[in-house]
Amino acid sequence: MNPSDTVLATICARIKVAAKQAGYGPVKLLAVSKTRPAANLRQLADQGQQHFGENYVQEALSKQRELADTDLQWHFIGPLQSNKCRDVAQHFDWLESLDRHKLIEPLSRLRPSSRGPLNVLIEVNIDAEPGKSGCAPEQIAVLAELITKAPMLRLRGLMAIPAPHEDPPLQQTAFRRMRKLFEQLREGYPPVDTLSMGMSDDFETAIAEGATEVRIGTRLFGPRH
């Protein structure tokens, strides 16, 4: 057996255990594959991993071409510049980092109808870190309304990258605040079903606090260089 087989299986098993303990329902694994060659993605795809997250548009498009024979779901998770809206609208299944209203109209207009609506998460700067992407919690409602009105976008939920804390209880509060915002959003928009939070070092804490999707890179692929 290839060593990466056990890595994926181990992570999936840990996610399952954490999800069962948390009791919020199943948790999806997004394999974060920025900087990894297409061959690494294919290895995981061959073992059944379907969702991949990419941060850089050009890098992602080149891997998509190499993996065109697969049926993978591509999530854009990096900061999105306006001039990349066309590429994301045309080539991704999900956008997890929508954080300002300016992006909404072009994304919807440039989405090919043959692909169906683009799934969208609003990224929240939950720890109000200066210079970091993500909207303020107070802006969620307005963005949600605009996304819902855009014909080729489908609002699916929220994403966050909390500030790293040495102290697990502090980390926990950020995840807990996100879960609250997610539940508030879902009251107004029942189809909302995705709360993307938790990475290699904190995914089990995130799941305990109600993540429905975790984004894992390093622990699946090894350290990035």
Interacting residues with ligand PLP (CB under 6 A):
32, 34, 55, 77, 161, 199-200, 215-219
Residue closer to ligand PLP by CB (options 54, 85) is 54
Residue closer to ligand PLP by CB (options 108, 196) is 196
Least distance between ligand PLP and beta carbon 156 (Å): 16
Residues 119-139: b if buried by 16+ CB within 10 A, e if exposed: bbbbbbbbbeeeeebbbebeb
Tokens of 189: 């928009």
Least distance between ligand PLP and beta carbon 219 (Å): 6
Residue closer to ligand PLP by CB (options 47, 200) is 200
| Under 8 Å between Cβ of 64 and 45 | no
Least distance between ligand PLP and beta carbon 7 (Å): 13
Least distance between ligand PLP and beta carbon 151 (Å): 27
Least distance between ligand PLP and beta carbon 26 (Å): 19
**3-class secondary structure, 26:** coil
Q: Which of 208, 129, 216 has the alpha carbon at shortest distance from 176? A: 208
Residue closer to ligand PLP by CB (options 36, 179) is 36
User: How far, rounded to the nearest angstrom, does the alpha carbon of residue 29 sit from its chain's CA centroid?
Assistant: 9
Least distance between ligand PLP and beta carbon 124 (Å): 12
Give backbone dihedrals phi and psi of 134, rounded to 5 degrees, phi first: 110, 145
| Under 8 Å between Cβ of 16 and 201 | no
| Under 8 Å between Cβ of 166 and 201 | no
| Under 8 Å between Cβ of 99 and 134 | yes
Residue closer to ligand PLP by CB (options 114, 225) is 225
Residue closer to ligand PLP by CB (options 151, 222) is 222
Q: Which residues pair with 76 in a beta bridge?
A: 54, 95
